[in-house]
């Protein structure tokens, strides 16, 4: 009988829980329509549940006139926020506090004259929002992206909250020697770092890893990548319905982790389903490693 182990740090973070509480309270009390500017979080199931409760998704700040507009957890640009406040009757800011910190860091570096680089995924809503606070900044994803860039003598680096510090160190190392000064604003979310460390520790002991969360969720995809570093059988799913019994053939230890946009009830459903498919039982969580990678 296999044991099912849940990572000691997994699932919805403070920023996500805060946003969900804010929106659900607004939906219960709002007299008019309520919309979120883009998906509130990168979890299709939760977004679908919100839509069923009357909270629709707006693709642009002025898509709907009136009503209540909620700024997503990933944040928006200053221009989008200004347009939202001029179009909606009420605006609720559900931006994660750690994302706000990245925005402030980008503004500081810009105001102090640094050549600003945003370390993150091009096109990701959080990165786009951060770019809005640092006009002229450049997005880089890896040291190779620095090739061909004409950098100023002073470079400032702000980081997407879901990146890993191991990759950040690689980028900083590539910058040293190319410019006179590198100022790093480490805006990685600590909850993200703890989840990554816990996932890495569990994956090293598991025969199979199941990573629960949206496929467009940056932090969930990062967890899957980290797990693949030490476990060859990794399955990234959005919902328990995707689980297949054949995935767990011969497994003695089945690890489960989840992204920061995954509520506890989704994790519980996945664990119960794995138990039903395998006959396994839940064992004690593996503590997070003493690492920041």
- Every domain of the chain and the residues it spans: 3-12+191-283, 14-96, 98-188
Question: Per the structure block, which two tokens stand in for 118?
Answer: 């945003």
What is the structure's pLDDT at 64? 80
Same fold, 14-96 and 98-188: no
- % of the chain residues with pLDDT over 70: 97
Residue 13 assigned to a binding site: yes
Residue 261 assigned to a binding site: yes
Question: Per the structure block, which two tokens stand in for 44?
Answer: 């299709």
What is the structure's pLDDT at 288? 46
Q: Which residues are catalytic?
A: 126
Task: Answer yes or no: is pLDDT of 292 > 50.
Answer: no
**Helix residue ranges per DSSP H, the chain:** 14-29, 44-52, 78-87, 97-111, 125-131, 165-175, 190-203, 218-228, 264-278
Residues contacting residue 239 through CB under 8 Å, at least 6 positions apart: 45, 266, 269
pTM: 0.88
Residue 227 assigned to a binding site: no
Assess contact for 188 and 106: CB atoms under 8 A: no
Q: What angle do CA 33, 38, 44 make, to 5 degrees?
A: 100
Q: What are phi and psi of 93, to 5 degrees?
A: -100, 105
Residue 96 assigned to a binding site: yes
Section 259-283 average pLDDT: 94
Q: Which CATH architecture has domain 3-12+191-283?
A: 3-Layer(aba) Sandwich (3.40)
Section 49-56 average pLDDT: 93
pLDDT category of residue 284 using cuts at 50, 70 and 90: low
Backbone CA torsion sign across 52, 54, 60, 64: positive
- % of the chain residues with pLDDT over 90: 87
What is the structure's pLDDT at 154? 98
Instruction: Round to whole Å and give the CA distance between 203 and 209.
Output: 6
Residue 221 assigned to a binding site: no
Residue 193 assigned to a binding site: no
- HEC string of 125-154? HHHHHHHCCCCCCEEECCHHHHCCCCCCCE
Q: What angle do CA 38, 41, 45 make, to 5 degrees?
A: 105
What is the structure's pLDDT at 31? 79
Residue 74 assigned to a binding site: yes
What is the structure's pLDDT at 285? 62
Query: Which class is 98-188 in CATH?
Result: alpha beta
Ramachandran category for residue 148: left, alpha or beta (phi over 0 → left; psi -120 to 50 → alpha): left
Q: Which CATH architecture has domain 14-96?
A: 3-Layer(aba) Sandwich (3.40)
Q: What are phi and psi of 95, to 5 degrees?
A: -60, 135
């Amino acid at each position: 009988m296999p044991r099912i182990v849940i990572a000691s740090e997994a699932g919805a973070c403070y920023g996500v829980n805060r946003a969900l509480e804010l929106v659900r309270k607004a939906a219960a009390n709002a007299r008019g329509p309520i919309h979120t500017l883009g998906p509130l979080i990168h979890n299709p199931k939760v977004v679908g549940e919100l839509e069923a409760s009357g909270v629709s998704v707006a693709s642009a700040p002025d898509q709907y006139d009136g009503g209540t507009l909620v700024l997503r957890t990933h944040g928006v640009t200053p221009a989008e926020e200004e347009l939202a406040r001029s179009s909606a009757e009420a605006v609720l800011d559900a931006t994660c506090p750690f994302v706000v910190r990245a925005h402030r860091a980008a503004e500081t570096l810009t105001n102090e004259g640094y050549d600003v680089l945003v370390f993150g995924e091009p096109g990701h809503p959080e990165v786009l929002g951060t770019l809005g606070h640092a006009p002229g900044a450049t997005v880089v994803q890896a040291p190779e992206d620095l090739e061909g860039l004409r950098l100023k003598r002073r470079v400032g680096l702000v980081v997407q909250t879901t990146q890993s510090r191991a990759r950040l160190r690689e980028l900083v190392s590539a910058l040293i020697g190319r410019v006179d000064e590198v100022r790093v604003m480490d805006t990685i979310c600590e909850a993200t770092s703890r989840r990554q460390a816990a996932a890495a520790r569990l994956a090293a002991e598991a025969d199979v890893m199941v990573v629960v969360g949206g496929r467009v969720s940056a932090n969930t995809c990062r967890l899957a990548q980290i797990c693949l570093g030490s476990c060859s059988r990794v399955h990234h799913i959005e919902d328990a319905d995707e689980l297949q019994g054949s995935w767990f053939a011969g497994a003695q230890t089945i690890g489960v982790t989840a992204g920061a946009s995954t509520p506890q009830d989704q994790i519980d459903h996945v664990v119960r389903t794995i138990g039903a498919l395998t006959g396994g039982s839940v064992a004690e969580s593996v503590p997070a490693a003493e690492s920041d990678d």
